[in-house]
Amino acid sequence: MAIRVNPQLIDELARYGAEDVHKCYHCGNCSAVCPHSEEPFVLPRKVMRHLQMGLERKLESALDPWLCYYCGQCTEECPREAEPGETMMSLRRWLTSRYDFTGISRLFYRSWAAELTAITIVALATGIGLYAWGSTHGDITVYDGPDAFLQSSAIHVFDWTMAGVLTLLLAVNAARMWYFTVGRQGIAVPLGTYLKQAWLLPVHFVTQLRYARCGKKGPWAIHLGLMLSYVTMFVLIMFFLHEMQAGPEIRWQVHAFGYAASIGLVGTIGYALHGRLRRTHTLYRHSHESDWIFLLLLAAVVVTGIAQHVLHRAGLPLHANVAYLVHLMGVVPMLLVEVPFSKWSHLAYRPLAIYLAALQRDALTVPAGARAAARGAA
């Protein structure tokens, strides 16, 4: 059965940043230089072709974009300036919007104004709500203790509730990703394979080892630094919020980690902001609005987070509380908007894609394995 070409899809993808994919004439230089290109994932040419032709279902079921880390070699080698690297990036944005069943992601990626409005509304709601709640349950001039403006025990409950909602949303999206790439494709994966390959998920989440296979190690180290700092901070907040907030003395057993994570975050965010502003690397040459929103929001959260900590230790509880409120006005929209619907979600999709790719590959090579087993039995 012939697949229907959709000549309009390429225009749709242009809104996600793939503005030059039509220039590609399939010389294959990109796939020749790509360190990750190997059957059946011929990066990036294969999906670029499917995109040019508008083969929507093929693209939905593609894991290829997640296996690319945008080292930029393909873009540098492209004789047509078709921006294969940026095309892969745009496809990741588009896939994110496809995995998201609510349609919110699609809205955000296609309209930065919508994303910014949503962030502003959530931020204001958070600010007003927490201020009202904090004022009735405590005193804005008190930072910790029983009269604290925003008590860590309450925030802790608030954090975990939000984490539950986000996990649910992400889980649904991840299930849809599985459905597009494996379920709907009719790829029969035995249960054993799901279990056998499960180790890939934590390993690739933590190490991002595939990224290291790109030609230069620098971008991998920076990205890993950012991610590990972020995760460290996340663990500290989710499990040690009380110890983190108590003061004014410094509790080195938790704060040492906090400082290390802060330094990591400031350094890597600074590096990325500088890179995007100055376009220092191929990877930073094109910045979609969603890239800026993600980075700036993260920067705001980190700066206010550090500020409330410093102000508290400096004996300025009122100032610390204001900084804390502003910090939360950044954190909540960042989590509510970015995690399930925007750039942040790639933290989940990347390791999942590596896992699903292994399932696909295993399923496709089963006959060979069965043959070997049969030979062994004989």
Which spans of this chain sit near other proteins (rule: CB under 8 A)?
A: 1-5, 7-8, 10-11, 22-26, 46, 49-50, 52-53, 55, 58, 80
Shortest Cβ 56–other proteins spacing (Å): 12
**For residues 290 and 293, what is the distance between their CA atoms, to the nearest angstrom?**
5
2 or 195, CB closer to other proteins? 2
| Residue among 57 and 213 whose Cβ is closer to other proteins | 57
Beta carbons of 268 and 225 less than 8 angstroms apart: yes
CA–CA distance, 104 with 117 (Å, rounded to integer) = 12
Phi, psi of 337 (to 5 degrees): -95, -45
Tokens of 32: 């020749």
Gap between the Cα atoms of 167 and 296, Å rounded: 24
**Cβ closer to other proteins: 48 or 352?**
48
Distance CA 137, CA 153 (A): 12
- Shortest distance, CB of residue 367 to other proteins, whole angstroms? 21
Between 5 and 250, whose beta carbon lies closer to other proteins?
Answer: 5
Q: How far is the CB of 5 from other proteins (least distance, A)?
A: 5
CB atoms within 10 A of CB 161: 10
Map residue 147 onto helix, strand or coil: coil
> Is 5 or 373 the residue whose CB approaches other proteins more closely?
5
Q: Closest distance between other proteins and the C-beta of residue 24, in Å? A: 8
Classify 315 in phi/psi space as left (phi over 0), alpha (psi -120 to 50) or beta. Answer: left
User: In the bound complex, what is the minimum distance in angstroms from residue 72's beta carbon to other proteins?
Assistant: 22
